[in-house]
């Protein structure tokens, strides 16, 4: 019945009930256990996605959209079974408008594929989560990364979305084919879907802002005597108005892990990785201000990475932090948790969190997009040790509540399954009711990525 309906839409070869394929689509890179869907389908175009959604709607089957499966929050696990829509075969870059600085892409296009496509245009798309994620998946999870302090997260960079709703209706959140830089027409539907994690609809196209590739780029590493000194420097650099492109914090445990994993030899003390974008002239000014601030906080002289190759090695080491943390304890699993607080509270929360980790014997190297007030503990734990699992669970609750007490959020990037209870504490009961009403209206049968 249902299978033959699905097959008639996207062809025999694009509907799979094989165990291996289902398992592969029931998990991401997180610690959350695999929950395979009942069937995986591979549509080729929005019309097929719409037709598939209609079949699922008619039979009341859950729908879970799948991009690259590189998330860290369990967002793709099919906790109620159903149909996984793997969108990787929809991989066209459409409508590149160079002179307007925007482009539209389908969900199979990843951020690296887009930047490779743009290589000769002098443009790039800067939002860079660690993985080579699908751009529609990045919109769905409101992803960010090391460049967010300068270029914003997905929320600031999506101009329009094509969305298939639960009943198969196709909508364009800003109007079909439209891509103005700003609008005040109607409700902000585009950003209702950015970050909705497949619970309100399936993103089948996203229109993105692009940026000019900077004339000059310089990266530097600076070591500090204490966590406080490193984070104080960050706050001062931003308060002095330096348009820094990346400013990443790694604590001693994290830098040690990165040294070992990426064969580097940085001093094992709290460290900032910095990057400056601009014209040759503006860089000199940015760098001077920054060096003055870091040195007044006891920072070391900058170690520069000026050529592209050295620079890429530096940022690859930062992007590989997840794997570096895992390598600290072979055979263990990693659990990423993150919080975000207003900038002025960042030094306090990182210092307190560091003490908490040491006191409670939790392996949790800290890496942070500190320019946004956002940092992660990449906790490495043995899932078969119930006592350790409990210690980690209590630590993450304390961390989140610490952020909430400081007027922050329980997650800057890693929402998903693990923090549902905290969301209620963060936004309050009445705001939750508004969210429930929106969900109810767009997905009355609760079929879209249920349980999230």
Per-domain boundaries in the chain: 2-86, 93-212, 216-420
User: In the predicted model, is pLDDT for residue 133 greater than 80?
Assistant: yes
- Gap between the Cα atoms of 332 and 384, Å rounded: 9
Would you call 392 helix, strand, or coil by DSSP? helix
Q: Tokens 């390598």, residue?
A: 327
Is residue 198 within 8 Å of 75, Cβ to Cβ? yes
| pTM for the structure as a whole | 0.94
Q: Quick one: average pLDDT of 405-415?
A: 92
pLDDT at 29: 86
Q: Quick one: average pLDDT of 384-413?
A: 95
% pLDDT > 90, the chain: 93
User: In the predicted model, is pLDDT for residue 415 greater than 80?
Assistant: no
Determine the straight-line distance between the first and last CA of the chain, rounded to whole angstroms. Answer: 28
- Gap between the Cα atoms of 333 and 29, Å rounded: 10
Among the listed ranges 26-30, 208-212, 214-218, 258-262, which one has the minimum average pLDDT value?
26-30
CATH architecture of 2-86: 2-Layer Sandwich (3.30)
Neighbouring C-beta atoms of residue 327, cutoff 10 Å: 16
User: In the predicted model, is pLDDT for residue 269 greater than 90?
Assistant: yes
- Gap between the Cα atoms of 224 and 202, Å rounded: 45
Is residue 362 within 8 Å of 395, Cβ to Cβ? yes
User: Would strands 170-172 and 246-250 be described as parallel, antiparallel, or unpaired?
Assistant: unpaired
**Is residue 419 very low, low, confident or very high in pLDDT (cuts 50, 70, 90)?**
confident
- Gap between the Cα atoms of 327 and 409, Å rounded: 29
Take residue 120 and report the two structure tokens written for it.
């000769």
Is residue 206 within 8 Å of 105, Cβ to Cβ? yes
**Is residue 152 very low, low, confident or very high in pLDDT (cuts 50, 70, 90)?**
very high
Confirm or reject CATH 1.10.3720.10 for domain 216-420, answering yes or no: no
Take residue 180 and report the two structure tokens written for it.
């103005």
Please say whether the dihedral angle defined by the alpha carbons of residues 420, 421, 422 and 425, taken in this order, is positive or negative. positive
Average pLDDT over the chain reads 95
- Gap between the Cα atoms of 396 and 377, Å rounded: 9
- Gap between the Cα atoms of 188 and 161, Å rounded: 11
Instruction: Give the residue among 11, 73, 68, 81 at the shortest CA–CA distance from 39.
Output: 81
**Residue 101 CA, distance from chain mean position:** 23
pLDDT at 420: 81
Would you call 347 helix, strand, or coil by DSSP? helix
Confirm or reject CATH 3.30.465.10 for domain 93-212, answering yes or no: yes
**Contacts for 234 with CB less than 8 Å, ≥ 6 apart:** 247, 249, 272, 346, 370, 371
pLDDT, one tens digit per residue, over 166-219 is 999 999 999 999 999 999 999 999 999 999 999 999 999 999 999 999 999 999
Domain 2-86 and domain 93-212 have a common topology: no
Can you list the alpha helix ranges (DSSP code H) found in 248-307?
252-262, 280-296
**Contacts for 431 with CB less than 8 Å, ≥ 6 apart:** none
Q: Tokens 């780029």, residue?
A: 217
Q: Tokens 């900038």, residue?
A: 343
**Is residue 410 very low, low, confident or very high in pLDDT (cuts 50, 70, 90)?**
very high
User: In the predicted model, is pLDDT for residue 75 greater than 80?
Assistant: yes
């Amino acid at each position: 019945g249902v299978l033959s309906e699905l097959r008639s839409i996207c062809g025999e070869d694009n509907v799979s009930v094989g165990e291996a394929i289902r398992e592969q689509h029931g998990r991401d890179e997180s610690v959350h256990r695999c929950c395979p869907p009942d069937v995986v389908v591979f549509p080729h175009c929005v019309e097929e996605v719409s037709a598939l959604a209609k079949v699922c709607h008619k039979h009341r089957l859950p729908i879970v959209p799948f991009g690259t499966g590189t998330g860290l929050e369990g967002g793709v696990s099919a906790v109620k079974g159903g149909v996984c829509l793997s969108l990787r075969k929809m991989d066209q870059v459409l409508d590149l408008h160079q002179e307007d600085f925007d482009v539209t892409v389908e969900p199979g296009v990843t951020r690296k594929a887009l930047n490779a496509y743009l290589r000769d245009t002098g443009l790039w798309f800067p939002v860079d989560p660690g993985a080579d994620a699908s751009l529609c998946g990045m919109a769905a999870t409101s992803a960010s990364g090391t460049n967010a302090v300068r270029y914003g997260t997905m929320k600031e960079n999506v101009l329009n979305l094509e969305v298939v709703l639960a009943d198969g209706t196709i909508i364009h959140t800003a109007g079909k084919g439209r891509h103005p830089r700003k609008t005040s027409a109607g409700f902000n539907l585009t950003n209702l879907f950015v970050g909705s994690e497949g619970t309100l609809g399936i993103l089948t196209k996203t229109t993105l802002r692009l940026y000019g590739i900077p004339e000059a780029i310089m990266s530097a590493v600076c070591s500090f005597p204490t966590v406080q000194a490193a984070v104080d420097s960050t706050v001062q650099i931003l308060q002095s108005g330096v348009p820094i492109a990346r400013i990443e914090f790694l604590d001693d445990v994290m830098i040690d892990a990165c040294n070992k994993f990426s064969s580097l030899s940085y001093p094992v003390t709290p460290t900032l990785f910095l990057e400056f974008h601009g014209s040759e002239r503006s860089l000199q000014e940015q760098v001077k201000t920054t060096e003055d601030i870091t040195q007044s906080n006891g920072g070391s002289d900058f170690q520069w990475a000026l050529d592209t190759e050295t620079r890429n090695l530096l940022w690859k080491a930062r992007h590989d932090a997840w794997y570096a943390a895992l390598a600290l304890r072979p055979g263990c699993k990693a659990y990423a948790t993150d919080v975000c607080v207003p900038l002025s509270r960042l030094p306090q929360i990182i210092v307190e969190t560091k003490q908490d980790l040491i006191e409670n014997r939790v392996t949790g190297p800290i890496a942070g997009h500190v320019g946004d007030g956002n940092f992660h503990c990449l906790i490495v734990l043995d899932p078969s040790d119930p006592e350790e699992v409990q210690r980690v669970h209590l630590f993450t609750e304390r961390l989140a509540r610490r952020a909430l007490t400081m007027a922050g959020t329980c997650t800057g990037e890693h929402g998903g399954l693990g923090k549902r209870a905290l969301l209620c504490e963060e936004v309050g009961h009445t705001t939750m009711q508004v969210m429930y009403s929106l969900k109810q209206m767009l997905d009355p049968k609760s079929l879209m990525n249920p349980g999230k």
